[in-house]
């Protein structure tokens, strides 16, 4: 699940709320490397808020989501 605000990553990862994380993934064959902050931790995964999205990353996510 991804939006301009952030992403939900499924899985069990021992990370605390407030932790900064580095994410690297591809959308529509475009590789993105982003920084985010963990804002939610559940049994199903992590909610991560994107920090400082570049205009290029923003356009890529918008194209994927909207």
DSSP 3-21: -SSEEEEES-----TT-EE
Q: Which residues of the chain have pLDDT under 50?
A: none
pLDDT at 8: 96
- List for the chain the helix, strand, coil content (%; round to 5): 15, 50, 35
β 45-51/30-41 pair status: antiparallel
Half-sphere exposure of 35 (CA within 13 A, CB side): 6
pLDDT at 66: 59
pLDDT at 13: 82
């Amino acid at each position: 699940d991804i939006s301009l605000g952030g992403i939900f990553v499924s899985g069990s990862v021992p990370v605390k709320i407030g932790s900064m994380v580095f994410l690297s993934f591809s959308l529509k064959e475009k590789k993105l490397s982003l920084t985010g902050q963990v804002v939610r931790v559940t049994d199903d995964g992590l909610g991560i808020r994107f920090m400082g999205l570049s205009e290029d990353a923003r356009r890529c996510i918008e194209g994927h989501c909207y």
